């Protein structure tokens, strides 16, 4: 092939500007000459005729100029039409080839399908996070989130801002609300939002059924349901309108049902089951407390007001409000107006979105490697086929087909295969994304992403398939079109050495990538196994969790403290219950709490000391219930109440770090600068993940450190106790929602990341191995087929079946070994990146390496033994006659 590169293959012959000019000139000249000839024949002199013809023609310069301009347009159009018609011809040929060679086509299409499916699934997630438009009538750029000093707002602050601002057409406040939903069956936890009345008006969305809120709706309890809840709980029955639901023991009338997919202006993720308006007639202390900044605020901007202008206006208003109410924190005046879609919607949520994006990036890399293996494989197949078709191609070249034209034809054939594969990949991706959403259903908080296909995902897959076709098709096509005419027509094997070298390199690369992926999945699996054997330091077996949720608005702290005590004591009296105790953080769930703890200088020789510690807030009896033994001191008592001196219990690690042991009687400075005396020391236990190093942990009495949700741990006979627990909570306060689940189910969540890592890398690794095995198989089968004569001769002079197999396998075994060594090495080094996810396993784990090496080597051996055996069994006579 002459130099010139890729551009050469896509250059179609077309007239240059000068060609066009010459053509137009020719045409006009022809006209003038013919007219001159006519006039001369009618009796004019040659000279007069020429002058007359020229005059009759008129303005030649202008005619030439406009004609050239038009011709250029026509030429461009013809050029495009030619490309398309040629492409179409080639595509038809390509489709015909698929029909003639279904096995080959199936292999290529399946490979492309599998490799693009991973990418498409990953992009579906990215798409739903960042690119999918919000399903709203109001354009996303008109909407903006408002935050005062990177924080939410209190209801009174919101009301003041609302009354004074002029930059938003609508300004909306909403907050997350978790309620218990009492039906005839088991009570359920619903996640919804309490919203200001203008919520739906600002978003411009109307309900599928019923209506949204009117101003009268502030005086009673009403609710609008999400479509999924309507279908799941009410079977999509339209008579749900007007029905009364008991939420947290309070009756709510159903006003309407929103369309499926509606999630408000919130970033994708949390799922909402219902929307209820703020009811200002109910005595809700949250609505009058300026310190309770619990409401998210967003608004619909006035026309021609930018976010920056809105922010400037709000800052002035916030300054005024703060001047009137000095208790408002000073950051409040730092008003921000943020976008509601794209990456900007996640501002202030970096700790949530960054791990997700990092994980997606890692997955993209892995899926990219898989794509490369797949491409290498198909390239190998195509190279083999190009060799088989070299005679056809040589003939076509001999009868005058251009090499560039030939490259384009071969590429188009690849493209047809790749597009078919891309279509298959899209279907596979649909199935994969279904799996992603079911994975989220294991989390304690309802998470939902709209992963449905849309234009963007389809365009992405289309682009990816096209790129794939170029990657795997270009090299073989170029090779095929550069066949040496003479040697190909003579069927000379000498010209094929170069082609084989390339296929060998591809196989080495494939084995390397698949080994690397398998090393990673091996490390994850080993870490899971290791984690399974770790003692958490407490015993979740036989423990039930009763999660209590107080409504912030209607339940004061006093009520919560009293309920927690009465409820626990009622449960303790129930039959089948051995022990009970409450904690705000369930260990090894996704919950945690941490803060800075200070050592109080209380004796000569102590220095000030500060340390970040894990924390948990407990009622008496918790340590007994989960079987964490005391090393020294005592448990909390109900008498360690709000009015009593502050007390705390610490774990051994904290006692060692703060006082070298001997902690009982010492003092620390906890949150809100409260002095706490240590009354007990307990044995270390795992807090957040099984793989973690034990961190210093402090336990506070719930009665002194109230939170609005806590979980009662109950050691009991699971079957008989569940009903007793529900009965106890109902009889005490029907409007407090309590749901019961075994502790084992919650603590299992801590191994979720390692499980996902193991599952994903194992799936990709297995797939990569299959592809690599196919690659090895293809290489050996091809090289054997090229050497039928040589093998037959060897058989004829006495080589045994075993000799032949050893010869063939030995040649390719070296390739496998090189790839294996490279892959395992790279895998070990690369694993350092996600070291923190593989608890208790070194990235250079010898055991993993050994297993991966054995598995890959065996697979390669089988893959090359099959064609070798086939070759060895061919009778020498047949082999010799064939050539």
Partner 1 sequence: MSDSMTPLLRGTVDLLILRSLRQGPSHGYDVSRWVRERTDGVFALEDAALYQALHRLEDRGWVRSEWGLSDNNRRAKYYQLTPEGRRQLRTEVSMWKQYAEAVVRVIGSA
**Cα(223)–Cα(273) distance, integer angstroms:** 10
Tell me, by CB under 8 A, how many residues bind partner 1. Answer: 23
- Contact segment (CB under 8 A) with partner 1 among 67-75, 391-399, 667-675, 800-808 equals 67-75
* Binder among 14, 45, 66, 288 for partner 1 (CB under 8 A): 66
- Contact segment (CB under 8 A) with partner 1 among 31-39, 102-110, 387-395, 690-698 equals 31-39
**Cα(743)–Cα(585) distance, integer angstroms:** 12
CB 171 within 8 A of CB 357: no
Q: For partner 1, give the closer residue by CB, 34 or 349.
A: 34
Q: For partner 1, give the closer residue by CB, 35 or 627.
A: 35
- In the beta sheet, which residues pair with residue 401? none
Q: For partner 1, give the closer residue by CB, 57 or 595.
A: 57
Q: For partner 1, give the closer residue by CB, 78 or 835.
A: 78
| CA–CA distances in Å: residue 412 to residues 97, 471, 689 | 12, 13, 53
Is 71 a binding residue for partner 1 by CB under 8 A? The answer is: yes
| Both tokens assigned to 812 | 């390719």
For residue 118, what are the contacts with CB-CB under 8 A and spacing of at least 6? 363, 366, 367, 370, 371, 429, 432, 764
Q: How far is the CB of 68 from partner 1 (least distance, A)?
A: 9
Tokens 């999918």 — which residue?
132
Is 60 a binding residue for partner 1 by CB under 8 A? The answer is: yes
Q: For partner 1, give the closer residue by CB, 63 or 286.
A: 63
Residue by residue, DSSP assigns 102-150 as HHHHHHHHHHHHHHHHHHHHHHHHHIIIIISPPS-SS-GGGEEEEEESS
Q: How far is the CB of 34 from partner 1 (least distance, A)?
A: 4
Is 762 a binding residue for partner 1 by CB under 8 A? The answer is: no
* Binder among 12, 57, 431, 595 for partner 1 (CB under 8 A): 57
* Binder among 44, 63, 241, 669 for partner 1 (CB under 8 A): 63
**Cα(631)–Cα(414) distance, integer angstroms:** 71
Is 58 a binding residue for partner 1 by CB under 8 A? The answer is: yes
Is 814 a binding residue for partner 1 by CB under 8 A? The answer is: no
**Cα(448)–Cα(272) distance, integer angstroms:** 9
| Both tokens assigned to 373 | 């293996």
**Cα(346)–Cα(805) distance, integer angstroms:** 60
Residue by residue, DSSP assigns 304-315 as T--HHHHHHHHH
Is 44 a binding residue for partner 1 by CB under 8 A? The answer is: no
Is 239 a binding residue for partner 1 by CB under 8 A? The answer is: no
- Contact segment (CB under 8 A) with partner 1 among 55-63, 101-109, 295-303, 309-317 equals 55-63
CB neighbourhood size of 90 (10 A): 19
Q: How far is the CB of 62 from partner 1 (least distance, A)?
A: 7
Q: How far is the CB of 85 from partner 1 (least distance, A)?
A: 15
* Binder among 35, 164, 391, 627 for partner 1 (CB under 8 A): 35
| Both tokens assigned to 358 | 């990092």
- Contact segment (CB under 8 A) with partner 1 among 28-36, 141-149, 458-466, 605-613 equals 28-36
- In the beta sheet, which residues pair with residue 700? 617
Is 26 a binding residue for partner 1 by CB under 8 A? The answer is: yes
Is 19 a binding residue for partner 1 by CB under 8 A? The answer is: no
- Contact segment (CB under 8 A) with partner 1 among 24-32, 280-288, 568-576, 850-858 equals 24-32
Length in residues, the chain: 883
Q: Which uninterrupted H or E stretch holds 804?
A: helix 801-830
Query: Helix (H, G, I), strand (E, B), or coil: what is residue 619?
Result: coil
Query: What string marks each residue from 73 to 112 as x (binds partner 1 by CB under 8 A) or -?
Result: xx--------------------------------------
Q: Hey, CA dihedral for 776, 779, 785, 789, is it positive or negative?
A: negative
CB 201 within 8 A of CB 231: no
**Cα(91)–Cα(355) distance, integer angstroms:** 44
* Binder among 15, 21, 25, 31 for partner 1 (CB under 8 A): 31
Q: How far is the CB of 18 from partner 1 (least distance, A)?
A: 16
CB 90 within 8 A of CB 408: yes
Q: Which of these, 750, 629, 631, 636, lies nearest to 687 by C-alpha position? A: 750
Q: For partner 1, give the closer residue by CB, 67 or 151.
A: 67
Is 56 a binding residue for partner 1 by CB under 8 A? The answer is: yes
Q: How far is the CB of 47 from partner 1 (least distance, A)?
A: 19
Q: How far is the CB of 89 from partner 1 (least distance, A)?
A: 21
Binding-site ranges for partner 1 (CB under 8 A): 23, 26-28, 30-31, 33-35, 38, 56-60, 62-63, 66-67, 70-71, 73-74
């Amino acid at each position: 092939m002459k130099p010139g590169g890729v551009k050469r293959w896509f250059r179609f012959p077309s007239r240059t500007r000068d060609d066009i000019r010459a053509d137009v000139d020719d045409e006009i000249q022809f006209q003038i000459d013919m007219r001159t000839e006519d006039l001369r024949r009618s009796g004019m002199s040659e000279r007069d005729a020429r002058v007359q013809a020229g005059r009759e023609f008129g303005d030649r310069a202008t005619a030439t100029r406009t004609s050239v301009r038009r011709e250029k347009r026509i030429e461009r159009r013809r050029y495009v039409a030619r490309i398309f018609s040629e492409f179409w011809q080639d595509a038809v040929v390509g489709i015909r080839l698929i029909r003639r060679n279904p096995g080959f086509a199936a292999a290529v299409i399946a490979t492309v399908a599998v490799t693009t499916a991973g990418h498409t699934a990953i992009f579906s997630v990215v798409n739903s996070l960042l690119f999918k438009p919000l399903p709203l009538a109001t354009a996303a750029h008109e909407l903006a989130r408002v935050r005062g000093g990177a924080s939410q707002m209190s209801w009174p602050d919101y009301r003041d801002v609302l009354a004074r601002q002029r930059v938003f057409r609508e300004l909306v406040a909403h907050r997350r609300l978790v309620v218990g939903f009492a039906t005839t069956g088991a009570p359920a936890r619903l996640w919804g939002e309490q919203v200001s009345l203008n919520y739906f008006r600002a978003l411009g969305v109307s309900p599928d059924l019923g209506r949204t809120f009117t101003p009268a709706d502030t005086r009673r309890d009403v609710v609008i349901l999400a479509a999924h809840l309507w279908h799941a709980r009410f079977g999509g029955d339209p008579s749900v309108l007007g029905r009364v639901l008991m939420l947290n023991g309070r009756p709510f009338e159903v006003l309407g049902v929103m369309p499926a997919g509606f999630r408000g202006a919130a970033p994708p993720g949390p799922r909402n089951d219902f929307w209820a308006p703020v009811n200002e007639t109910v005595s809700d202390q949250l609505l009058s407390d300026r310190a309770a900044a619990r409401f998210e605020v967003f608004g619909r901007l006035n026309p021609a007001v930018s976010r920056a202008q809105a922010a400037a206006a709000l800052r002035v208003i916030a300054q005024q409000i703060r001047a009137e109410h000095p208790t408002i924190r000073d950051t409040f005046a730092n008003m921000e107006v943020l976008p509601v879609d794209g990456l900007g919607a996640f501002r202030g949520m970096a700790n949530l979105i960054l791990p997700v994006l990092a994980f997606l990036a890692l997955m993209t890399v892995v899926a990219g490697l898989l794509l490369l293996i797949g491409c290498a494989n198909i390239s190998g197949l195509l190279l083999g086929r190009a060799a088989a078709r070299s005679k056809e191609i040589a003939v076509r070249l001999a009868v005058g087909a251009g090499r560039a034209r030939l490259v384009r034809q071969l590429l188009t054939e690849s493209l047809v295969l790749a597009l078919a594969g891309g279509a298959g990949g899209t279907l596979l991706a649909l199935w994969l994304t279904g799996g992603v959403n079911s994975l989220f259903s294991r989390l304690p908080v309802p998470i939902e992403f709209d992963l449905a296909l849309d234009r963007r995902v389809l365009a992405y897959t289309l682009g990816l398939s096209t790129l794939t076709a170029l990657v795997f098709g270009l090299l073989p096509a170029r090779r095929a079109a550069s066949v040496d005419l003479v040697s190909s027509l003579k069927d000379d094997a000498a010209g094929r050495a170069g082609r084989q070298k390339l296929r060998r390199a591809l196989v080495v690369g494939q084995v390397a990538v698949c080994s690397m992926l398998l090393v990673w999945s091996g490390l994850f699996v080993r870490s899971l196994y290791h984690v399974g054997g770790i003692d958490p330091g407490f015993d979740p077996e036989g423990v039930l969790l009763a999660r209590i949720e107080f409504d912030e608005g209607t339940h004061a702290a006093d009520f919560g403290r009293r309920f927690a005590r009465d409820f626990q004591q009622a449960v303790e009296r129930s039959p089948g219950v051995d022990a009970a105790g409450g904690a705000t953080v369930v260990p090894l769930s996704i919950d945690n709490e941490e803060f800075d703890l200070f050592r109080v200088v209380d004796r000569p020789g102590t220095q000030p000391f500060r340390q970040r510690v894990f924390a948990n807030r407990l009622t008496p009896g918790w340590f007994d219930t989960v079987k964490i033994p005391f090393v020294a001191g005592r448990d909390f008592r109900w008498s360690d109440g709000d009015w009593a001196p502050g007390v705390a219990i610490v774990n051994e690690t904290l006692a060692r770090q703060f006082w070298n042991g001997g902690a009982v009687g010492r003092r620390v400075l906890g949150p809100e600068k409260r002095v706490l005396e240590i009354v007990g020391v307990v044995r270390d236990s795992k807090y957040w993940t099984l793989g973690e190093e034990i961190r210093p942990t402090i336990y506070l009495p719930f009665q002194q450190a109230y939170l609005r949700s806590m979980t009662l741990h109950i050691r009991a006979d699971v079957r008989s106790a569940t009903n007793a627990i529900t009965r106890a909570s109902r009889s005490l306060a029907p409007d407090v929602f309590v749901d019961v689940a075994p502790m084992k189910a919650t603590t299992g969540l801590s191994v979720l990341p390692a499980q996902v890592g193991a599952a994903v890398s194992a799936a990709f690794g297995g797939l990569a191995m299959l592809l690599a095995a196919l690659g090895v198989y293809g290489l050996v089968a091809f090289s054997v087929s090229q050497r039928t004569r040589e093998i037959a001769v060897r058989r004829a002079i006495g080589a045994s079946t075993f000799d032949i197999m050893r010869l063939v396998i030995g040649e390719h075994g070296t390739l496998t070994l090189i790839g294996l060594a490279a892959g395992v090495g790279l895998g070990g080094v690369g694993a350092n990146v996600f070291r923190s996810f593989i608890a208790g396993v070194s990235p250079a784990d010898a055991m993993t390496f050994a297993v991966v090496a054995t598995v890959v080597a065996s697979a390669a051996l089988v893959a090359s033994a099959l064609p070798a055996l086939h070759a060895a069994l061919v009778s020498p006579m047949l082999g010799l006659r064939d050539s």
